[in-house]
Amino acid sequence: MKTDIMLLVCLVVFGFLGLCQGGELMMNFYAKTCPLAEEIVKNVTWSHVSSNPNLPAKLLRLHFHDCFVRGCEGSILLNSTANSTAEKDATPNLSLAGFDVIDDVKAQLENACPGVVSCADIVALAARDSVSFQSTSIWDVLTGRRDGTVSLASEALANLPAATFNFTSLSQRFASKGLSVQDLVVLSGAHTIGIGHCNLFSYRLYNFTGKGDADPSLNPAYAAFLRTKCKSLSDNTTTVGMDPDNRAQDFGNDYFKILKQHKGLFQSDAALLTDNGASNAVELLLDSNRFFTQFAESIKSMGAIGVLTGTAGEIRKNCRFCPCAKPPSTPLHVDNSFLPLPAQESEN
Ligand code: HEM
Ligand SMILES: *[C@@H]1O[C@H](CO)[C@@H](O)[C@H](O)[C@H]1NC(C)=O
Ligand SMILES: *[C@@H]1O[C@H](CO)[C@@H](O)[C@H](O)[C@H]1NC(C)=O
Ligand SMILES: *[C@@H]1O[C@H](CO)[C@@H](O)[C@H](O)[C@H]1NC(C)=O
Ligand SMILES: *[C@@H]1O[C@H](CO)[C@@H](O)[C@H](O)[C@H]1NC(C)=O
Ligand SMILES: *[C@@H]1O[C@H](CO)[C@@H](O)[C@H](O)[C@H]1NC(C)=O
Ligand SMILES: *[C@@H]1O[C@H](CO)[C@@H](O)[C@H](O)[C@H]1NC(C)=O
Ligand SMILES: *[C@H]1O[C@H](CO)[C@@H](O)[C@H](O)[C@H]1NC(C)=O
């Protein structure tokens, strides 16, 4: 193939793979190769959102999880194989959804321009388009990502922040992805939409310090309300809205208002008030215009984590399945014992 020859020539000249993968993300990467690509993603995504208002939260979270594990290269979409358990099947279950929407978008793109648009770009675009349902796009998405071939459950546990994390652990996880405290605070604003399962925060409601008490950093009236919803520590089926003031599920800066009222659902939300720099950022994000500007900037940074461009990776035909899977560079049967996290700290 032509690209292979070019890669070979490039390798001879530069002798270093990193310089030869070429390409960076850009606006409208598919302008020439698949001019309708972005319109198709948007149309198909909107058609799903119109019958399922919960989807924007699902697709936005999918983008986050994709990017934090091996970079934004669509590994979150891959099914487990006989030999390896994929990210999406990480235990405890990640309660992710929206895979069928990505499949539908991909099917229509394969109709229009076979083998051109990556699954990784579809995830990034569908997150933006679902959250921007029936409005102009809330943020720009650069494209040109290519798809990875490896997905490992153990890497989900080791790379994603958990709801139990304190500020130090959160900022470390973000820093390890090249993201700042500012990015951490701004992107946490995504928790203005969607739901959380009771078992992820119920320990904050009952016997938090062993004295039959609630987490003192949680608003007492809100804790009382949450106790009416979540009756036991192990309830992993009941869900509550992440932002009690956002019943309409509008995307905006409301999260920062409820955070200041100590109504952040997870310990990881409340943790943003425990650091001076982060709580200053929270304060500034009470300005709606500033929030939208900064969210666009931070999600652009998130969307660039570990991307494969140029000739790296591949363009998958089916987002759940990688036909030309090379053996993963990491061992197939991964020894989990090195994981730094106790089981309950992995995200559910
Ligand atoms: C800062 C560290 C973060 C932690 C610890 C965290 C943790 C969680 C947890 C535990 C849930 C609940 C899942 C469930 O119960 O089903 C959740 C939901 C969600 N997260 Fe995060 N998250 C973080 C950052 C982010 C970021 C950066 C984004 C996107 C930019 C995001 C978007 C979402 C969305 C939209 C939901 C709702 C999902 C739904 O409705 O199904 N989160 N997150
Ligand atoms: C997308 O939807 C718009 C509005 O319904 C329609 O005019 C347009 O033709 C659609 N584009 C594609 C590529 O299907
Ligand atoms: C699983 O491993 C076996 C033996 O190592 C190999 O023959 C097979 O191709 C692998 N299957 C997949 C889907 O990777
Ligand atoms: C944050 O959590 C980590 C990991 O559980 C722990 O080692 C550290 O002491 C905690 N830091 C603070 C300030 O509580
Ligand atoms: C609360 O925690 C303490 C200390 O772990 C324990 O002794 C007590 O039985 C717990 N109370 C309830 C009601 O679970
Ligand atoms: C929920 O809890 C039940 C009982 O503890 C357990 O059998 C089940 O596997 C859990 N489900 C998930 C999705 O974690
Ligand atoms: C991937 O897994 C899903 C859910 O288990 C299944 O419905 C689907 O057929 C699988 N797809 C492929 C390509 O393996
Ligand atoms: C959650 O994990 C279980 C097995 O661990 C799997 O059967 C299920 O499909 C997963 N759920 C999603 C949404 O991927």
70-125 pLDDT, tens digit per residue, is 999 999 999 999 989 999 998 566 799 999 999 999 999 999 999 999 999 999 99
**Residue 262 annotated as catalytic:** no
Is 48 annotated as contributing to ligand binding? no
pTM: 0.89
How remote is the CA of residue 232 from the centroid of ligand 4, in Å?
Answer: 26
Is 75 annotated as contributing to ligand binding? yes
How remote is the CA of residue 81 from the centroid of ligand 8, in Å?
Answer: 13
CA end-to-end distance (rounded Å), the chain: 43
Do residues 81 and 120 share a domain? Answer: yes
Do residues 21 and 138 share a domain? Answer: yes
| Least confident piece of the model among 56-60, 283-287, 328-332 | 328-332
Do residues 68 and 23 share a domain? Answer: yes
Q: Which of 236, 239, 347 to mutate to test the pocket of ligand 6 (most atoms within 8 A of CB)?
A: 236
DSSP 108-160: HHHHHSTTTS-HHHHHHHHHHHHHTTTSS-SS---B--BB-S---HHHHHHHS
Whole-number Cα distances in Å, 261 to 129, 165, 255, 327, 328? 30, 20, 10, 50, 46
Do residues 71 and 172 share a domain? Answer: no
CATH code assigned at 312: 1.10.520.10
How remote is the CA of residue 93 from the centroid of ligand 8, in Å?
Answer: 6
Q: Which domain holds residue 154?
A: 16-159+303-323
Do residues 298 and 195 share a domain? Answer: yes
Ligand nearest to the CA of 76: 8
Number of domains in the chain: 2
Do residues 86 and 138 share a domain? Answer: yes
The answer to whether position 7 is within a domain reads: no
Please give the Cα distance from 241 to 192 (Å, whole number): 9
- The secondary structure of the chain in percent helix, strand, coil, rounded to multiples of 5, reads 45, 5, 50
Do residues 126 and 255 share a domain? Answer: no
Are residues 130 and 55 in contact, defined by beta-carbon separation less than 8 angstroms? yes
Average pLDDT over every residue of 143-149: 97
Name the residue at shortest CA distance from atom 8 of ligand 3: 83
Do residues 198 and 149 share a domain? Answer: no
The answer to whether position 127 is within a domain reads: yes
Name the residue at shortest CA distance from atom 14 of ligand 5: 207
